[in-house]
Amino acid sequence: MPPNKLPPGKPPGTHKNFKKVDNIKEMYTFSTVLGKGSFGEVRKAFNVRAEVDCAVKVIRKKAISSHQILVDLMKNELKVLE
């Protein structure tokens, strides 16, 4: 399958094991900012379902949608996480 193409029946907003979440605050309780980057910030969080501490990268959609190069960089970052 060509890169960046979804398998048949795969909903938009889904990337391999990643999926779009309508309300992230139902899944995580957020606390301190651990770091900031060009797309957003990384926050310490608590995964409510798994009952574990974790780090969540919060991405500002407006920050990446303004320039195609940023969209491409974000896609590359997602590939690294696969």
pLDDT tens readout for residues 29-64: 999 999 998 778 999 999 999 999 999 988 887 877
pLDDT score recorded for residue 33: 97
Mean pLDDT computed over 13-41: 81
Name the pLDDT band for 16 (thresholds 50, 70, 90): low
| Domain residue spans of the chain | 24-81
Instruction: Let me know: does 48 contact 29? Beta carbons within 8 Å.
Output: yes
Nearest to 45 by CA among 33, 37, 36, 35: 33
CATH number of 24-81: 3.30.200.20
Name the pLDDT band for 82 (thresholds 50, 70, 90): low
With 50 as the cut, is the pLDDT of residue 3 above it? Answer: no
